Structures are given as structure tokens and as C-alpha cells.
Structure 1
Amino acid sequence: MPPTKEDTGATANADPTPSLWRNRDFNLLWASQSLSDLGTAMSNLALPLLVLHLTGSPEQAGLVGTAGLLVTMVCRLPAGVLADRLDRRRVMIACDLLRLAAYGALFGAVLADAAGIALVLAVVVLGAAANALFSTAEHAAVRSLVPAGQLSTAVARNEARAYGTSLAGPSLGGVLFAAGRSLPFLGNAVSHLLSLIAVLCIRRPLQERRTAPAETGRAAGTEGVRFVLGNPFLRALLLIAAPLNMAFTGMIFAIIVALQREGTSPALVGTASTIFGLGGFLGAFAAPALQRKLPLPKLILVLCWVTTALMAAGALFATSVLAAVPLACAVFLGPTANAALFGYQAAITPDRLQGRVISVILLVATSAAALAPGLAGVLLAHLSSAATMLTFSLIVAVAAVAATFSSGIRTMPTDV
């Protein structure tokens, strides 16, 4: 049975837990994912710009982005099984080696002016598969390195990391792309090399010792699904998160492509992405205070309805960098919701299921987002930028209505 707030509080008073900043192995794990996120953020900005340079087609740029997201979606459940069955440290090392090789090859091809759409797709597919496996293993490992009472704080730190890299990565990617189209991919390769070094320095095991035989075949893949579907709150939340994540992904992509079509410089396009990251970065620092004031069910409702209004407001500035400002305000609440959600999930999930439960949550929550770049590209090819952005605002409105009337959200237990 997971500890209650009262239990963890009593334990903390009897034996104060050291700050996470003094937790060497967690900080190394945090640094490894930070480096990976930074490289990925640079490439995510540079890849559509590279495809637009090679083909001049927003549809092809959108399809390349969709291909990466689809691969991530397909790999989620197998990644969860592997993260629970294999040594998580070795899994992350293998992923870093694969990404280092893939983005190093793309750097060389772009530098030699020999890159084509086939190579770009291959690198996107390999990178997306490795990202899915690495991030699942990293998420699952947190519980092995962090005391139960610090799980929400650790997740909030991870949210700050993710938004911090999204704040710096796109801007750096845009600047590097403007200096030389190959440079963002060199930067990504170097980030994975440094991530590899950080993972190698972690001392503690990243999972508990397995005493029971590992499940095989379909049973291993479905146990995590059964766990999530058996929890009313997680089950309801996933139906809301899918359209919400799709809208955020599509809106960001639409703003990037709209600015590029207007002739905005790559560095300024990167600035727009930096604005998104700033909203989440500031929200991550505010997460502990917001968690104390807003219980997770109420936070979800506020996030959905406020995001609907702010995305609609962003459409008023569809061809300007200012379109990023309302979206950044919407992103501000995201870290608090994620910290509370994944802290709750980590506390109630056995270690042997961590990878699979996380993979199910991430798969369902991001499944519709895989279609977002392709949808945005098609909409931008036939509609105005403002109409495209309003479409994504309507998608969030659907999630807001579902959240408002969901019994699973309203009855979530708050004593975990």
C-alpha cells in the first residue's frame, strides 16, 4: 500500500531526507536526459527547416514530423516492456550510441550537401525509436533513485529540465541552422555523447532486483494496460490528454511553418519556440506552490479551459512571433499538472511495472499528437494560418468539455 501524506510527513520529521540537489545518481540521470532533450530540441527545430530547404513543401515537412511521432507511438509499449525486463542503464547507453551515430551521419551528409529526404526520414525514425526507449527507461528509473516523499519534486525538476531545454534548444538550433545547416545535427550528436558519459557514471541500480520470472509474450505488454485501465482517474485523464497534446503539438508546428512562409529568419523562428519553452520553464518553478493551492482535478479543468481561450487568442497574431505568447501562457500550467500526475503514478505503481505503465500513459496521451504536424501541414496548405490555429483551439475545447463532465477526474483520491 502506498504511503499517505501523513506517513511520509512523519517519516520526514523522524529522519529528514537530503535534498535532491545532493542526490548524486538522480542528478546524473537528470543531466543525461537534459543533454538528450537539448539535442532533440535543436534537431526538432532544424529538421522541418531542412526539409523546407530541400523540398519547399510544408506538407513534406509536416509528414517528416509526423513520421517521427508515429514511430515514437509505435515504440511506446515495446519500450515499456524492455525498460522493465532489461537493465535500464544498458538500455539508455545503447540508445545514446544509436542517436550519436544517426545524427553524426546526418551532420556529415548535410555538410557535404548530400542529404536527401530518404536520409532525413531514416534519421528521424531511428532517433524517435531511441528517444522513446531512453525516455521510458529514464522515467521508470526515477523511483529507484528518489525516496517516495520526493517523487513529485523530482518530476517537477524533470519538467523544469524539459522546458529549460525547450527554451534553449530551439533558439540554439535556429542560430546554428542560420550559421550552417549541418551544425544543429552536430550539436545533437555531441549532446548524446555527453549524455552517454553521464549514464555511465551512475552507480546505483536503476531498478529493483527481480525475484519473479519475467512475463513473456502478450502478457508482458498488456499488464501495464490493465493497471492503467483499472484506475478510474488515469483512465479518464488519458481520454482528455490525447486531444490536448495534439493541439499543443499542432499549434507549435503551425506557428513555426507560418513564420517560415512569411520569410521570418531561422533565428527568429527559434525565438518563437523559445517563448513556448519560457512559459513551461517558469511554470515548472511555480509547480510546488501551485500544487499546494490547486488539487490535480481542479488544475486539469483550469488548464483545459484556459488553453482553449489562449489558443484562440494566438490566432489573432497568426503570422507574428507574438502568436507564441498566448501559447506560452497556456503551457505555464502544464508542469504542475505533469508533476502531480507522474508523482501520483510513480507512488501507486510497483517498480516491475513502472516502464509499462509509463509507456501506456505516454502512448495514449501523445497518440493523437503524432498526427498533429501532418494535420497542421494539410490545414496550412488549404486554410489561412489563423483558421489553422483556431482548429486546434476547438480540439482543446473538446477536451475541456470531457474533463468537466468526467466522474473519474472529480473522484480522484487525494490522499496518495
Structure 2
Amino acid sequence: MAEDGAEPAVPLRGNRGFLIFLVVQTLSSAGDSFSLVALPLLVLHTTGSVTQMGLVTALAGAAAIVSGMFAGVLADRADRRRLLIACDALRAVLYAVVPLAWVLAGPQMWLIYLVVPLGAALGMVFQVTYVAVVPALVDESQIMTANSRLYGAYAVAGVAGPALAGTVSALTGPAGAIAVDAATFAVSAAGLCLVRLRTRASSPSVPVESRTSVVGGFLAGVRFLWRHPVLRALTVLLSVLTFVTHGMTDVVIYHLKHDLEQPDTAAGYVLAVATAGTLAAALLAPRVRRTLGFGVSWIGAWAVCGVAAGGIGLATSVPLVALLTSVYLFCTATAGISSMTLRQEVTPDALLGRVTSAFWTVHSALGPIGAAALTFAAGRWGVAVAAPAAGLVCVLIAVCATLTPVRSSRPEQLSGEAT
């Protein structure tokens, strides 16, 4: 019920702006998924070198990290809708140049080394900005549900995108798949032109000190995270969790191929089936949080996640690996949707981009190192040791979280020390 005579919130299914945004975000995510498959294939077809494939991937990762430092400042200073449109429009042009060059002038590897990092940087700016846009599309009470819908759409795009990219690449070559990629970004940009954002009336004011340089703006996001007791604890805990879980997909694939001696198709089967866990989280996460509260939902999700991770390492059949991986993804998605929603609920609107950028950059910084460590452990001592060890750390972090403000049932209502 609406309070103080306010009009009741429009249901998400009747919210035209959100529905358009959901569709174009799905398209944009599908475009990203196309790139993940088509670009490495194009490099391999052109050079035959796995080293150059790795170099292109490394450039993309580095560009995303660097752009993450200023993406939040852009999201908070610029018109967010126009920024989203610009990111998709520029990506459409960038990726369209690649197949055009291949047709007119033949393979041009220098162009790949230019386009890929620029595209990755624009993608990071888009991701940070879209998180900051969601609270301006829906009612405050609908943010969790909206995030769940978007998370589900992202999961579907993450499965359908690579499958379609592989099919198109087989039919037309990787350059043709990249042309389709460019088209998805163009359609997304056009769709965003139809979306209108509203002002968050309940958004608290922004500290004057946060309106500084790019570096100062990023640090303002870091300070906000540190001063808010729940966000501070979440950032620290997730830094450790990211370190120990970032390489789990690689471990699952290695377990299937090396330990269970399965063909390549088994990995695709397991990861496709496991996506059901992400989709289930997209549907159930809002209800889980409403019923159990934030603390129990987040802590419980990571505790179960740890058990599932350990079980994956000990599983001796493909269906069991698929089931446990699905449980694992359900738990990480439920926790992720809950924590993202909390940041949107407690962060001033004009600071939300910088806080999102700071959160992602800080808590994911140890991810690549952790992935290398986990995969090394799996190769050195076996998945049956590495995966349960990672799972045990997840459970221990969940136990530690019970001693922090994260255990609060309604942390969005805490006064905190953030402003």
C-alpha cells in the first residue's frame, strides 16, 4: 500500500520504461556474449596463435579495470540515459568496423588490438551506469525485483549469446558474428532513446567533497563504502570470497575433462544446465530476502555455496556436477542480487555510480590472482582437494559474517555512518 497519499507503484509488467530497458539490456548482454566467442575465434582464424588470443583477452581485462576507475565518475556527472546510449552506439560503430575491414581490406590484426580494449572500456562504463539507472526506473520497493529480472535476462543472454555466436561463426565466419554483435548494440542504443528516467525523491544528498577530480571521485566511492558499516563488511568479505571462487568455472571444466574424462560437450551441457540456478535465483531472490531478511539470505547463500563447491570436487558423475554447479550459481546469484540492491537502496543517487565502480574494482581486484591460485591447486593436488578447500573458506567467511553488521535483517534501515 502507498503511504501518505502517494500513488501505488506501477507493477513492473506495466512499467513501459523498465520493460524497454530490460529488453535492451538483454540485447546488450547478448552482444557482450557474442564478443566473448566471436573475437577470440577471429583472432585464432587470423593468426592461428593461442598466445595472441590470450594477449587480446588480457588487453580487454586491463581496459575494463582501468575504465572502472573513472566509470563511476562519468555515471554520476553525465546524463545517465545519454551515457548508456553513447556506450552502445560507440560499441556498435567499433564492432561494425571489424567485419567491414575484413571484407574490404582483409584481416587487420592491428584493428583488433584497438577495438577490443576500447569496447571493453565502454562495456565497463555501461555496466556501472546501468546499475545506477535502475533506481530511477522503478519504485524504491521494486528495486530488488527489478534487479532479479535483469539478472535473469543477463543469464539467458549469457547462454544464448555464445551459442548463437558459435552458430553464426560456423555459417558466416567470426567476422559475420561480430557484425551481428554490432547490430545488437545499435538496436539497444535505439531502444534506450525510448526510456525516460525519473528523479529519486527519497535519495539523500551527496557530500560536497565527492564532487572532485576523477581520482577524487573514485575515492569518494571508496570512502562511502568504508563509512557504511554493512557495505564495508560486505566489501571486505566479498574480496576474500572472490579470491577463492573466481576460478570455479575453470575448475568445473577441468574436473569434467581430466578427472571424469568427459568430452568437450559435457562442459557445455553442465554449464547450460547450471544456468537454471541463476534463473531460479532471478525468480526467487526477492522472496527469499523478504522472508528471511538480508543477513540470513546473504550469509546462508554463501554457506550453501561453500558446501556445493566442495561437493563439486568430490562428485563422480556428470549429472551430479551439473546439479551442484546449479546450486552454486543459485547461491552466488541470490547473494549478488541482494548486495547490489542494498547498495542501490542506501547510496545517494548522485554518488551511486562511483560507489558501484569502487565496489566492483575493490572486491574483484584479487579475483585474477585467486583464479590462478585455485587452478594451480587443482592441477597440483587435484580438484578433490582444491574445490573442498575453496568451499571451506566460503563457509568460514559466512560464519565470520555473522559477527559483522551484515547479519542485520534490514540493513537498508540502519542509519550508518555514510553521510
Q: Same fold (TM over 0.5)?
A: yes
Q: Name which of 175, 180, 191 aligns with 1:182.
A: 175
Aligned residue for 2:299? 301
Write the letter of the residue equivalent to 1:369.
G
* Percentage of identical aligned residues: 28
Aligned residue for 2:26? 34
Counterpart CA distance in 1 for 2:56 and 2:388 is: 23
CA contact (8 A) 2:233 2:405 kept: yes
CA contact (8 A) 2:274 2:322 kept: yes
- The unaligned stretches of length 5 or more in structure 1 are 1-8
Query: Would you say 1:168 and 2:153 are equivalent positions?
Result: no
Aligned residue for 1:402? 397
Counterpart CA distance in 2 for 1:43 and 1:345 is: 29
Q: Name which of 214, 221, 228 aligns with 1:231.
A: 228
Total equivalences in the alignment: 402
Query: Would you say 1:199 and 2:192 are equivalent positions?
Result: yes
Counterpart CA distance in 2 for 1:97 and 1:136 is: 17
Moved more, 238-247 or 188-197: 238-247
Counterpart CA distance in 2 for 1:107 and 1:390 is: 45
Counterpart CA distance in 2 for 1:383 and 1:109 is: 41
Aligned residue for 1:222? 219
Write the letter of the residue equivalent to 2:231.
L
- Deviation (angstroms), 1:286: 1.7
- The unaligned stretches of length 5 or more in structure 2 are 414-419
Q: Name which of 130, 147, 151 aligns with 1:155.
A: 147
Moved more, 62-71 or 145-154: 62-71
What do residues 306-347 of structure 1 show as CA deviations (whole Å, max 9, x unaligned)?
A: 323323333457996975542222111233323322222222
Write the letter of the residue equivalent to 1:342.
M
CA contact (8 A) 1:42 1:172 kept: yes
Counterpart CA distance in 1 for 2:338 and 2:230 is: 13
Aligned residue for 2:120? 128
Distance 1:13 1:87, change over 3 A: closer
Moved more, 88-97 or 386-395: 386-395
CA contact (8 A) 2:296 2:409 kept: no
Please state whether the residue corresponding to 2:174 is helix, strand or coil.
coil
CA contact (8 A) 2:312 2:324 kept: yes
Counterpart CA distance in 2 for 1:79 and 1:70 is: 14
Counterpart CA distance in 1 for 2:362 and 2:369 is: 13
- Deviation (angstroms), 1:134: 0.8
Write the letter of the residue equivalent to 2:211.
E
Moved more, 190-199 or 320-329: 320-329
Counterpart CA distance in 2 for 1:201 and 1:49 is: 35
What do residues 10-34 of structure 1 show as CA deviations (whole Å, max 9, x unaligned)?
A: 5299642210121112222222221
Distance 1:335 1:351, change over 3 A: same
Q: Name which of 379, 382, 387 aligns with 2:382.
A: 387
CA contact (8 A) 1:171 1:271 kept: no
Please report the RMSD computed on the Cα atoms of aligned residues, expressed in angstroms.
Answer: 3.8
Please state whether the residue corresponding to 1:77 is helix, strand or coil.
helix
Counterpart CA distance in 1 for 2:313 and 2:385 is: 6
What do residues 75-110 of structure 1 show as CA deviations (whole Å, max 9, x unaligned)?
A: 223100110001112211221122112322344566
Aligned residue for 1:86? 78
Counterpart CA distance in 2 for 1:367 and 1:388 is: 24
Write the letter of the residue equivalent to 1:400.
V
Aligned residue for 1:347? 345
Distance 1:257 1:62, change over 3 A: farther
CA contact (8 A) 1:73 1:366 kept: no
CA contact (8 A) 2:305 2:394 kept: no
Query: Would you say 1:21 and 2:19 are equivalent positions?
Result: no
CA contact (8 A) 1:244 1:396 kept: no
CA contact (8 A) 2:42 2:175 kept: no
Distance 1:167 1:271, change over 3 A: same
Please state whether the residue corresponding to 1:155 is helix, strand or coil.
helix
Write the letter of the residue equivalent to 2:342.
Y
Aligned residue for 1:137? 129
Greater relative CO (CA pairs within 8 A, separation 6+) = 1
Write the letter of the residue equivalent to 1:220.
G
CA contact (8 A) 2:149 2:282 kept: yes
Moved more, 133-142 or 39-48: 39-48
Moved more, 196-205 or 99-108: 99-108
TM normalised by structure 1 equals 0.81
